[in-house]
Structures are given as structure tokens and as C-alpha cells.
Amino acid sequence: MKKKISIVLVLSMSLLACKKEEPDNPNINHRTVNLEMKVSSYNAESDMSIDMNDDGMLDFEIELDLYRNSDSELEYYAAIDYEQTGNEVLTQAIDGDEYIISLNKNDLISGGSSTWYRYATIFELDRDPGYPELSYGFAGKGDLLVGVRFMIGTERHYGWMKINASTDYKTIIVKEVAYDIRPNVEVRAGEK
């Protein structure tokens, strides 16, 4: 009896392991890129270029700046910017500045999505004696899904990036990029 139960259990586990997941969307071009940018010391800056569709043309750039004059005076800053006209990031306005929106998996990314802007802050920490400390953003918040739209030739495409900014503000990794190969077609955040 013990042997029969073991065989049934092994067969059941094998069938569960072979269960097919939903197929990927054939219209989504998804790549794992793992582009990493580090600033190893203070009073330094670094830039990273992102080619969404791997055509050799740079679509976005991430800038990372860490300035520190003393423990009481510092500025840590990261932002994403476009490289070509028409390329934009899904943003939210906070105190007159544009910041990225961290999307949830399956959030819709389309022309009607919130606010699109060519430039968006990822994180900002500004401490200057005599002024209130400004601290906002996504450093140390784990993986973020960021909505983007960009031009391929004269046609607009919607997509997303998965990025991660470290707690110490010194490292940003772009883990994945994806976009719909069909122009002007909405996508879902995290869709592959």
C-alpha cells in the first residue's frame, strides 16, 4: 500500500511540474538586459544608455549623481531622460517636479495613462543646512516597473522597464525591457 501511495504521489508531482504556464504574448519583445551602473565614490556621476529595441539607437538615459560635501550637506539624485524626441516616461508631478510612477504588474500602459514626460526623477535626497531635507523616490524599494513610450522610426511604441535602485543610492540596475512590436498598441506592466 505504501508503494502505491508513493507512486501516485510521484506521478501527481510530475504532472504539476509539467503544468504549462500561459504563453508569452508573441507581440511583446522582451529582453533581460541586467545593465548595471555604479558610482563608487561621492562627488561622482555616471550615465547609462538604454536601447529598448536593440537597434543600436539609444532611446533613454539614466543619470546617477552623488554629491557629498559633509555629513550634513549632500545631494543624491537619479533620473531617466529621453535620448530622442518623442520618447517619454510615465510620470507623476510632486511639488512641481516630475517623478517616475512605480507600476503594479498588469497596470495598463497606453496613451491615456496618466502623465507622460520626457524626463523623470527616480530618487532624490537633498540635505543642506538651513533648508528642509528633501527626500523622495524609489531607492531601496525593490524592483520597479516603469512605463515608457518611444519612437521606432516615425511610429510610437509602448513598453516598460524593470529597474532597481539600491538603498545606498550608489547602484541602479535595469533588469528587463519590453515593448509591443505593433505601433500605438497598449501594453501591461510586466507583460512578456
* pLDDT digits 0-9 by tens, 156-174: 999 999 999 999 999 999 9
**Is-contact 156 53, C-beta < 8 A?**
no
* 39 or 162, which is more confident: 162
> pLDDT at position 187, please?
97
Q: Which amino acid is at 158?
A: Y
Burial class (CB in 10 A: 0-12, 13-18, 19+), 90: buried
> pLDDT at position 22, please?
53
Residue 93 lies in a domain: yes
Going by pLDDT thresholds of 50, 70 and 90, the confidence category of residue 130 is confident
Q: Which residues pair with 90 in a beta bridge?
A: 116
Residue 53 lies in a domain: yes
Lowest pLDDT segment from 7-21, 38-52, 69-83, 174-188 = 7-21
Residue 7 has pLDDT above 70, yes or no: no
* Residue (of 180, 192, 175) closest to 148 by Cα position: 180
Cell readout for 147 is 512605463
Residue 9 lies in a domain: no
CA dist., res. 118 & res. 185, Å (int):
19
Residue 182 lies in a domain: yes
pTM listed for this prediction: 0.83
Residue 50 has pLDDT above 90, yes or no: yes
> pLDDT at position 12, please?
42
Query: Region 12-37: what's the mean pLDDT?
Result: 72
Please provide the DSSP assignment of 68-114 as one string.
EEETTEEEEEEEEEESSTT-EEEEEEETTEEEE--BPTT-EESTTSS
> Residue for cell digits 497596470?
107
CA dist., res. 189 & res. 159, Å (int):
8
Residue 153 lies in a domain: yes
**Is-contact 25 158, C-beta < 8 A?**
no
Cell readout for 5 is 501511495
Domain count, the chain: 1
How many residues in the chain?
192
Show the domain range for 142: 24-188
Residue 91 has pLDDT above 90, yes or no: yes
